[in-house]
Structure 1
Amino acid sequence: MGSRSEDVDAVTEVATEYFQAWFAGDGDRMRAVLHPALAKRTRAAPGTHSLALHEDPVETLVADTAGGEGTGFVPWQEVTVLDVVRDIATVKVHSEPFDEYLHLARFADGWLIVNALYLTAE
């Protein structure tokens, strides 16, 4: 376990790599920052009171990334680490296509994204 500053830097690096992999269309880079059991969700019907969630499994996200779905956007993101507590962290990311909250956990080989909740940016 590193210092808080080192943890914030490492978490920021993972969140940045997640978005940069998306923008670059690099599925391997995307897979490297995701836990295999990632839960990526968004509201199924934005603007309604529906509680249904749309889920994107890791393999779908990696395939969409490799297929270039993110390459048409400006490769920019604003990463804000909201909190780091020992081996877990919460991050807010704003980019051209998305507003996203990420939860990360530290594993033996480093920090990985385990949960993502997003909306299309306005």
Structure 2
Amino acid sequence: MIGSPDRDAAVAGVAKEYYAAMLDADGDRLRNIFHHKAIIVGHFGGELEQSTLEAFIASTPDARTGEGPFECRVDNMALVGDIAVITLGGYSYGHWFSDHLSLVEIEGQWRIVSKTFFCHPGKGEGH
């Protein structure tokens, strides 16, 4: 089974909920979206970062360095069976990010099992 409009919408909905929960630094919502063993890896400021879900959640309040504008767009999505990979472009706090989220459908719920990210150098919208 390769995606359907309802399944595509469900996966995109989880990805957008992740972005909103991250901006709100809402640990409970993030715990509902991510699998508890998820891993987060990526580059920020040229440095490789790797963290567990709990370490990532603990860092989200520190990321709140200002007010909008905020943007989140789905750049790409692949859904096959009970797995999905979605790429988000997100602008927040003066930086443009690319997030790649891997999701697995577990007991009827889509959960993020990994997040890889890249913070684009420089500031400004439109990367």
TM range (shorter): 0.7 to 0.9
Q: Which structure has more strand as a fraction of its residues?
A: 2
Query: Unpaired runs of 5+ in structure 1?
Result: 48-52
Identity of counterpart residues, as a percentage?
27
Aligned to 1:50: none
2 CA distance for matches of 1:24 and 1:33?
A: 14
Aligned to 2:73: 78
1 CA distance for matches of 2:7 and 2:65?
A: 29
Contact 2:45 2:119 in 1 (8 A): no
Query: TM-score scaled by structure 1?
Result: 0.81
2 CA distance for matches of 1:10 and 1:77?
A: 16
Query: Unpaired runs of 5+ in structure 2?
Result: 122-127
4+ residue segments displaced more than 6 Å: none
Contact 2:100 2:117 in 1 (8 A): yes
Alignment coverage as a number of residue pairs: 115
Q: Single out whichever of 73-82 and 109-118 deviates more from structure 2.
A: 73-82
Query: TM-score scaled by structure 2?
Result: 0.78
Q: CA deviation at 1:27?
A: 1.2
Matched, 1:14 2:8: no
Aligned to 2:46: 46
Q: CA deviation at 1:46?
A: 3.5
* RMSD (Å), alpha carbons: 2.4
Among candidates 56, 59, 64, match of residue 61 of structure 1:
56
Q: What does the per-residue CA deviation read over 1:25-69, in whole Å, with 9 as the maximum and x for residues that have no partner?
A: 21111111001111210148839xxxxx5311110112222x252
Partner AA of 1:113 in structure 2:
I
TM-aligned CA distance change 1:69 to 1:44, over 3 Å: closer
